[in-house]
């Protein structure tokens, strides 16, 4: 009988639980707060593990121990492995990558590849389906030389430039809502020069193309030949990719399953024959799956990680601190004449924004909710490696943002709010990789009560929260969210530019300087403009920046001995072909 390797994950709205074992399943990823589904990955070994293996059949996961396993097996060193995965909380389940946000691209990482790779150790962009790439002098054209002899799954022929043109066309469809859809719509033309050379011509200069075309972006390469033969219906049923796993199927709300390709074009050979993502909404359920051996990798909040560690589990971290948590303030639409702007929204007054920042004991919050694992964020989205990062923020932060309830009360009084006069909602949600959102929301409620502010916490699906801020219908509320790193220009475009989809903080100053940044190609000029925008956000208290931290998963070390992943790729916990079992 083969024991299984499984993993569980927690995300805001939906977190995947990864499990490796001999069965077919697939799942999705989500992103943060507590009430989310998370991915679980399970593997199966030929040696018995010291964990209980009893489990009733679920229809998507394990069968009882005395029942036959359907999964494919891979033998190595006397061990037989199978991959089984689980996902949970709020991840958009769909094979249409062009309508799915980056955090939920976890479900595509095993089988749909990108033009460029993200190196799991260095974080650098390296060749993948493209061997070489280069910009024109004005950065309006990007040329990619494509790899030859790369087969699509299910016999749909070799990968060529036509597949790149076709894949980009998905981002141009009316329903496309992927994170970088706005970026891809800036492409004027995608030209297939020949089968192995393709040129993207943009309407304006762009320096962030390597990011967008890499595993960190969201342009997944799919087969034009399959689409021409089977259309959208055939694609959705069994999408053909080029990865080291291929798609087997999904049971909506339950699981997604993949199986290993033994002749991958790059020679990648995952240690586990099968990979399954299972949906597990509750974080306590993910922990139970991990401890029972029904999942072997799980995304858990830090408070539950301690319980897992006591039971012999091990934490695996991304190679880079790639996620930040910030609290966003709805209704900051300062462009003249914007009908969505409501002057009675309290935090449209700068003293209120500063007060809401100074009410928070960040050191205490980091220690209690995040187990001390993280570093301070000074301006949302900017890390030390970001264009425009200003080291002066750190020196000014404590005076402007530091914990000071007395000053917070004085600032509220200055803005016209006495004790009990300011009331608002704090929204919480969960998705894969973002387990702590609800806990942060609860902590905010306590801190704000201490300065005389009344709050109500409302837990919603991530999709609902996203719909509210994208439609500028969130003036009522603030919400904590975990977001992963991206280049400064792309972060400004998606969150602060007035034509962005997210509308976190908009005014004429940001629009003017963002426009200048998009036209700049010289490094020193870009640094100056990006810093000008970031300094403005810092001085205006545009939101409530909290922490940077690495992505973490918890795994059974008897099944998972090693997993190196950068955290920078779309979906955070990626590079499943690098999950390795113990040596035997």
Tell me the per-residue pLDDT of 145-187, one tens digit each, with 9 for 90 and over. 999 999 999 999 999 999 999 999 999 999 999 999 999 999 9
The percent of the chain in helix, strand and coil, each rounded to the nearest 5, is 30, 25, 45
pLDDT of residue 491: 96
Query: What is the mean predicted confidence (pLDDT) over 327-345?
Result: 97
Partner residues linked to 37 by β-bridges: 14, 88
- Range with the lowest mean pLDDT among 57-71, 294-308, 366-380? 57-71
- Residue 458: both structure tokens together: 């409302």
CATH of domain 116-225: 3.90.76.10
User: Residue 95, Cβ neighbours under 10 Å: how many?
Assistant: 21
Task: For residue 103, give every residue at least 6 positions away whose Cβ sits within 8 Å of its Cβ, in sequence order, or none.
Answer: 11, 29, 30, 31, 91, 431, 432, 433, 434, 484, 570, 571, 572
Per-residue pLDDT band for 24 (boundaries 50, 70, 90) equals very low
Distances in Å between the Cα of 100 and the Cα atoms of 29, 218, 465, 564 are 11, 9, 15, 25
Alpha helices per DSSP H over 430-522: 437-449, 462-470, 488-495, 508-519
Query: If 0-12 CB within 10 Å is exposed, 13-18 middle and 19+ buried, where does residue 54 land?
Result: exposed
Q: Provide the residue ranges of all domains of the chain, joining segments of one domain with +.
A: 5-106+243-320+552-578, 116-225, 323-549
Residue 432 has pLDDT above 80, yes or no: no
Q: φ, ψ for residue 440 (rounded to 5)?
A: -65, -40
Q: What is the DSSP letter of 449?
A: H
Per the CB < 8 A criterion, the answer to whether 271 and 245 are in contact is no
Distances (CA, A) of 55 to 65, 295, 298, 414, 555: 7, 11, 18, 60, 19
CATH architecture entry for 323-549:
Roll (3.10)
Residue pLDDT, tens place only, 31-80: 333 322 234 444 333 333 333 333 332 222 222 223 222 222 222 222 22
The single residue listed with the structure tokens 């999904």 is 250
E strand or H helix at 535, and its extent? helix 523-539
Between 126 and 52, the more confident residue is 126
Percentage of the chain beyond pLDDT 70 is 84
In this structure, whether the domain defined by 5-106+243-320+552-578 belongs to CATH 3.40.50.1240 is answered with: no
* pLDDT of 328 higher than 60: yes
């Amino acid at each position: 009988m083969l024991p299984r390797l499984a993993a569980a994950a927690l995300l805001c709205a939906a977190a995947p639980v990864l499990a490796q074992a001999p069965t077919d399943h697939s799942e999705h990823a989500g992103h943060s707060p507590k009430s989310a589904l998370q991915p679980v990955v399970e593997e199966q070994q030929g040696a018995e593990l010291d964990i209980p293996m009893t489990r009733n059949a679920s229809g998507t996961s394990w069968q009882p121990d005395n029942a036959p396993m359907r999964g494919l097996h891979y033998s190595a060193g006397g061990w037989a492995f199978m991959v089984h995965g689980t996902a949970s909380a709020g991840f958009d389940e769909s094979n249409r990558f062009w309508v799915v946000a980056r955090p939920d691209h976890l479900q595509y990482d095993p089988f749909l590849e990108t033009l460029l790779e993200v190196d799991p150790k260095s974080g650098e962009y390296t060749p993948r389906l493209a061997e070489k790439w280069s910009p024109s002098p004005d950065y309006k054209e990007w040329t990619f030389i494509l790899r030859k002899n790369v087969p699509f799954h299910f016999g749909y022929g070799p990968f060529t430039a036509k597949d790149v043109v076709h894949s980009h066309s998905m981002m141009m469809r009316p329903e496309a809502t992927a994170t970088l859809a706005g970026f891809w719509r800036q492409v004027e033309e995608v030209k297939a020069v020949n089968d192995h050379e393709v040129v993207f011509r943009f309407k304006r200069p762009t320096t962030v193309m390597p990011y967008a075309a890499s595993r960190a972006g969201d342009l997944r390469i799919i087969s034009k030949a399959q689409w021409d033969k089977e259309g959208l219906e055939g694609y959705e049923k069994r999408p053909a990719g080029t990865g080291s796993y291929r798609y087997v199927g999904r049971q909506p709300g339950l699981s997604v399953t993949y199986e290993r390709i033994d002749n991958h074009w790059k020679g990648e050979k995952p240690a586990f024959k099968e990979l399954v993502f299972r949906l597990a909404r509750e974080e306590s359920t993910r922990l139970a799956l991990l401890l029972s051996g029904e999942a072997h990798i799980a995304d858990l909040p830090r408070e539950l990680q301690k319980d897992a560690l006591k039971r012999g589990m091990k934490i695996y971290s991304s190679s880079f601190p790639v996620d930040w948590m910030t609290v966003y303030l709805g209704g900051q639409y300062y462009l003249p004449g914007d009908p969505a702007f409501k002057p009675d929204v309290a935090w449209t007054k700068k003293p209120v924004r500063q007060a809401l920042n100074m009410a928070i004991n960040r050191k205490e919050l980091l220690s209690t909710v995040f187990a001390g694992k993280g570093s301070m964020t000074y301006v949302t989205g900017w890390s030390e490696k970001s264009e425009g990062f200003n080291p002066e923020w750190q020196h000014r932060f404590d005076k402007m943002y530091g914990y000071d309830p007395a000053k917070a009360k004085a600032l509220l009084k200055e803005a016209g709010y006495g004790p009990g006069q300011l009331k608002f909602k704090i929204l919480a949600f969960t998705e894969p990789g973002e387990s702590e959102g609800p806990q942060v929301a609860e902590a905010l409620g306590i801190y704000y009560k201490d300065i005389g502010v009344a709050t109500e916490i409302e837990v919603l699906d991530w999709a609902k929260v996203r719909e509210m801020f994208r439609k500028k219908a969130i003036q009522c509320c603030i919400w904590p969210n975990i977001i992963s790193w991206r280049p400064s220009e792309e972060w400004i475009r998606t969150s602060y530019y007035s034509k962005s989809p997210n509308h976190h903080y908009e005014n004429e100053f940001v629009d003017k300087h963002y426009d200048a940044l998009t036209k700049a190609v010289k490094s020193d000029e870009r640094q100056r403009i990006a810093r000008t925008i970031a300094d403005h956000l810092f001085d205006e208290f545009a939101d409530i920046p909290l922490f940077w931290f690495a992505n973490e998963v918890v795994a059974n070390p008897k099944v998972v001995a090693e997993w190196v992943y950068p955290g920078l790729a779309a979906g955070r916990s990626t590079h499943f072909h690098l999950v390795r079992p113990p040596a035997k």
